[in-house]
Amino acid sequence: MASLASFFCSLSMMIFLFAAPGRGTKNCFIDSIYSFGDSIADTGNLLRQGAVGMFAPIGRFPYGKTMNNATGRCSDGLLMIDYFALNLNLPLVDPYLLEGADFRSGVNFAVAGSTALDSSFFLQRSIVTPVANKPLSVQLQWFKTHLNSTCSSPTECSRKLEHALILMGEIGGNDYNNAFFQGTSIDSVKSFVPQVVDRIVSAAKEVIDAGAVQLVIPGNFPIGCMPSYLTMFYSSNPSDYDDNNCLKDYNSFAMYHNQQLQAATEKLRQSYPKVTLMYADYYQAFMYLLNNAAKLGFDKDSVHEACCGAGGTYNFDIKLMCGLPGTSTCSDPTKYISWDGIHLTQEAYKTMAQALIMQGFAFPNHNIHNQWKC
């Protein structure tokens, strides 16, 4: 199984860098990152657009507590995209909506709360999406607008993207979260998985057609292990839980999405044999984190609890999100996997990113390291 290390410059760069980031290695094949997605990858777009509702607190402490700066990231610190950039010796990727940003090393189009499908799809099904939703269609338009403003021709854009790593998410999680949290049944939500998957893969195709040759398409997390789901869909029936005390049905749903996405990614790969198209298994990377929590330095008794929340078994209340009056924050976020019940801590994201790069939670099954060496 090829790992995401295949994307990076050399074996010597596989150890994470914690110093202040600088310009990329001069001769490294990858010199920029372009990212799409939701709150798992958003480095500040929603904050600049106007964070409201459950996202309102992300622009102030305790968000950003560990990095001592509330940047709009939905965590106490850095995200996986940040660790990918650091591992490539690139600057952290600035959000598209940041005025005066230096986009020479890439652009982040991800917006917290975003869906893969357009809001109209959910409106037809009486499922409410955030007013600030910037679905993949909007993020793709931002991407094209950016290219048009920085390239003089499609050929120049294509050459520019040849040296870029494209992260297609994580995206699609909110398509399901919005539906589940509003009472839609698993069977009903399952019915629109094909549309979500098709939108992700068709977006990847558009980026490839623009000239991209190195893409990562991430799968969904095991949502049945998240404090938000464990709280909102609590069951008194022990058979509803697996050996990790996660909700079986919701994890099965996540696996169904991932299976469909992997199959669609493989078809896309066959259509573009010269493009390196990797599926990043966020599900198994998270399970690696959960199953090895104590060895990795996390508090084994708090693996299903949010660091920041309003109490209860899992320290989560959808009506009283982290940062609002009445909530409190754990003293040491590095011991927790979950930050606010929905998003992970910096330490958990770091561990997951490291696992994705080093532990082989990526496909396809061939070694392509020589294509990416410096």
Distance of CA 373 to the CA centre of its chain: 25
pTM: 0.91
- Measured CA to CA, the distance from residue 113 to residue 217 in angstroms comes to 18
Residue owning tokens 């959960």? 290
Say whether 230 sits in a helix, a strand or coil. helix
Q: What pLDDT was estimated at residue 358? A: 85
Q: Quick one: tokens of 281?
A: 């298994």
Whether 33 contacts 353, CB under 8 Å: no
Residue 290 has which token pair? 């959960």
Provide the sign of the torsion angle of the four alpha carbons 24, 27, 28, 34, taken in this order. positive
Extract the tokens encoding 90: 């690139």
Contact at 8 Å (CB) between 184 and 145? no
* Helix (H) / strand (E) containing 145: helix 136-150
d(CA 217, CA 257): 13
Using omega within 30 degrees of 0 as the cis cutoff, is the peptide bond preceding 62 cis? yes
Q: Say if CB 133 and CB 113 are below 8 A apart.
A: yes
Catalytic positions are: 39, 340, 343
Please count the other Cβ atoms lying within 10 Å of the Cβ belonging to residue 326: 10
36, β-bridge pairs? 168
Which residues are 35's β-sheet partners? Answer: 108, 167
- The structure tokens 């190195």 sit at 214
- Cα 163 from chain centre: 21
Tens-level pLDDT at each residue, the chain (374 residues): 344 444 444 322 332 322 233 333 344 489 999 999 999 999 999 999 998 888 999 999 999 999 999 999 999 999 999 999 999 999 999 999 999 999 999 999 999 999 999 999 999 999 999 988 999 999 999 999 999 999 999 999 999 999 999 999 999 999 999 999 999 999 999 999 999 999 999 999 999 999 999 999 999 999 999 999 999 999 999 999 999 999 999 999 999 999 999 999 999 999 999 999 999 999 999 999 999 999 999 999 999 999 999 999 999 999 999 999 999 999 999 999 999 999 999 999 999 999 998 888 877 744 333 333 33
Q: Where are the beta strands (DSSP E) in 260-326?
A: 276-280, 308-309
Residue whose structure tokens are 């993020």: 139
Q: For the structural domain made of 4-283+360-372, what CATH number should be given?
A: 3.40.50
Structure tokens at 60: 């102030």
pLDDT number for residue 362? 79
Of 143, 135, 140, 139, the C-alpha closest to 178 is 135
Sign of CA dihedral 34, 37, 41, 47: positive
Short-list 223, 215, 168, 222, CA closest to 196 = 168
- Give me the residue spans of the domains in the chain: 4-283+360-372
Query: Sign of the CA dihedral 98, 132, 173, 168?
Result: negative
Paired with 215 in beta bridges are 166, 277
* Residue whose structure tokens are 């990790």: 244
65 class by beta-carbon count within 10 Å (0-12 exposed, 13-18 middle, 19+ buried): buried
Strand spans (E) along the chain: 32-36, 106-108, 164-168, 214-218, 276-280, 308-309, 328-329, 362-363
